[in-house]
Structure 1
Amino acid sequence: MQRRLNIFFRKEETGFHGWFVMMLFLAILTGIGLTGCKHKNKTGDAPLARVGDKYLYVNDLKEIIPKGASSRDSLLFCQSYINKWVHTQLLLHQAERNLPEEKLNFQKRLEEYRNSLIIYQYETEYVIQNMDTVVTDKQIDDYYKSHLKDFQLKENIVKVIYAIIDRKREDSHQLEKVFRGMFHLPDSILLDSLENYAPVMAESFSTDTNNWIPFNQVLKVIPIETYNQDIYLKNHRIIRLKDDSKIYLLKFVNFKIKDDISPKDMEANFIRQIILNKRKTEMINQLRADIFKHAIKQKEFEIY
């Protein structure tokens, strides 16, 4: 065992010497500070490192060593931490020596930051406890109609139904005929048919006609080649494509072209958040005004 430890520490002798780290680790495990050091702290703990007049003690490391770590991992952690501490203190020492005094005075900024945090926390709790978070469909509709110019599409969007068949299947030809017939049915019947048969017959499929998706997202699944998306969408309703491994069938249920007005159902969640944020801002402004009015009434402050 001793021979293994010696071999280990010879390998680990980088930065701080292996024997030092071994003493450190023993000190941490036993709770006993390194002996022979002159600069013990108030608890009699011996230092592990010094930069200028700053010392790093054994107790500084005891609480931060990962629980359950092996002896080797703990040693490596201690080595890394001490080296990092030394580098940080050296950099801090250099900064303190070179920065002018006014640059080192953070008291005012810390106080302002603390005040901001306290106010923010209070206002957040007040809003959580008092704000009405219900947004009705009518409120969404009213906002949408009065801000149509703000909802201009930046890309083409679609609602689609599609199915993909694996050409390696022995019955792929028959399946293609079945699905081609389905895709010429009315949308409601097509959706029911796909829900019943596609899980078994298709490699993958989608019947989600409730949500709008970017046309570019469809192109990642269906290998449509088009040089002008606008013209393509206006002139295609049902498409069938093949490549070496798959058969693709797709039906465009609806589409909107870039620069059109975005559909309300696509923007509903965004509008809801806008309305809630507006309520929050108004509530906070009212809270601040009420506090000020109350303070005036109670003569809680004076301006000289």
Structure 2
Amino acid sequence: MQSSKCIISKIFGVVTLLIFFSSLFSCDSFFKKEEDKAPLARVGESYLYKEDIQDLLKNNVSKEDSAAFVTNYINNWATKQLLLSKSKINLPQEQLSEFNQLIENYKTDLYTRAYKEALVSQSQDTIISDAELASFYEREKQNFRLKEKIVRLRFIELPKQFLNKDNVQKSLDRFNTKDERFLDSIGIQFKKLNFNDSLWVKASRIVNEIPPLTFENEDRYLKKSQFFELQDSLGVYLAKVTDVLGVNETSPLSFVKPTIKQVLLNRRRLEHIRKLETEIIDDAIKDKEFEVYE
């Protein structure tokens, strides 16, 4: 009479065979998937499959262009594979070892950097208060010297044949509450407009927006309290300059606020990463995952 252990062993064997054969003929089996793969080329033990280049083929490309692209891609792939194979045979072992170490170091850096960035992005506070911005600005004010003239102005570009130019000009220059309402009411007729004269703008940007204004004549027009009118074949350009700061003057806080915010966020991020690395080491030591031997 067979022992129970022997019977269980035979049953287990039969079940294993059934599972194996059912997987062979299953539409979802591993081997079936391999058979479905369409190889395009082989170099040694490396295969290039159709799905490897599927995403590279665009729908709007002709069959002739697709065929040429695939042929070129296969040849390039084969060249790289053959060169890689030859390099492993013919390069000195010391050099191969050095390259393998570089690859491992790069892979480690890639994984760890991505992991740290993911942790930081999940937990880092990205809100910088106005008080933090102002405090940093006051401490570092001497480092915020302008490298280019900046300007505050109101600006309108009119079509060449605009009929009500004189009233627009007076309202833009004076710009009281009534004038602002008037300009807003007919703003749809303007080609371009900017009424926000609290915003500092680089002089180079203004020169690009107003074709008749050039780097040679900007000092004539971009002066504090200056109103100017320029025109060319495209339109009429009206502007009232409300303030100007020149090269080497201190940047206003509003102008450098985005830069300061980025600096503070980068500092906070680096501090968070250092804290994270310290906590990882401390936790590993506590859990006996990390030990240093004398």
TM-score when scaled to structure 1? 0.70
TM-aligned CA deviation for residue 203 of structure 1: 3.2
2-structure distance, mates of 1:63, 1:244? 55
1-structure distance, mates of 2:125, 2:38? 59
1:221 maps onto 2:221 in alignment? no
Matches within 5 A, 1:116-135: 116-135=109-128
Q: Is contact 2:169–2:238 with CA below 8 Å preserved after alignment?
A: yes
SS in 2 for 1:135: coil
For the structure 1 residues 232 and 164, does the alpha-carbon distance in structure 2 shift closer, same or farther, using more than 3 Å as the test? Answer: closer
Equivalent residue in structure 1 for 2:145, among 143, 148, 152:
152
What letter is aligned with 1:197?
I
TM-aligned CA deviation for residue 110 of structure 1: 2.6
Q: Gapped runs of 5+ residues in structure 2?
A: 1-33
For the structure 1 residues 50 and 108, does the alpha-carbon distance in structure 2 shift closer, same or farther, using more than 3 Å as the test? Answer: same
The match for 2:226 is 237
TM-aligned CA deviation for residue 156 of structure 1: 0.6
For the structure 1 residues 217 and 263, does the alpha-carbon distance in structure 2 shift closer, same or farther, using more than 3 Å as the test? Answer: same
For the structure 1 residues 48 and 227, does the alpha-carbon distance in structure 2 shift closer, same or farther, using more than 3 Å as the test? Answer: closer
TM-score when scaled to structure 2? 0.72
Equivalent residue in structure 1 for 2:73, among 71, 81, 96:
81
Q: Is contact 1:123–1:284 with CA below 8 Å preserved after alignment?
A: yes
Percent of pairs with identical residues: 28
User: Deviation digits for residues 57-104 of structure 1, max 9, x if unmatched?
Assistant: 6x6335534486765455334322232234334544564565322222
Q: Is contact 1:162–1:207 with CA below 8 Å preserved after alignment?
A: yes
2-structure distance, mates of 1:293, 1:287? 10
1-structure distance, mates of 2:122, 2:76? 45
How many residue pairs match? The answer is 254
2-structure distance, mates of 1:138, 1:159? 24
TM-aligned CA deviation for residue 193 of structure 1: 2.8
1:162 maps onto 2:155 in alignment? yes
TM-aligned CA deviation for residue 108 of structure 1: 2.1
The match for 2:293 is 303
Equivalent residue in structure 1 for 2:49, among 48, 60, 76:
60
What letter is aligned with 2:245?
K
Q: Is contact 1:160–1:252 with CA below 8 Å preserved after alignment?
A: yes
The match for 1:208 is 196
Across the aligned residues of Structure 1 and Structure 2, the Cα RMSD in angstroms comes to 3.3
SS in 2 for 1:284: helix
TM-aligned CA deviation for residue 145 of structure 1: 0.7
Q: Is contact 1:158–1:214 with CA below 8 Å preserved after alignment?
A: yes
What letter is aligned with 1:252?
V
The match for 1:33 is none
Q: Gapped runs of 5+ residues in structure 1?
A: 1-41
For the structure 1 residues 77 and 189, does the alpha-carbon distance in structure 2 shift closer, same or farther, using more than 3 Å as the test? Answer: same
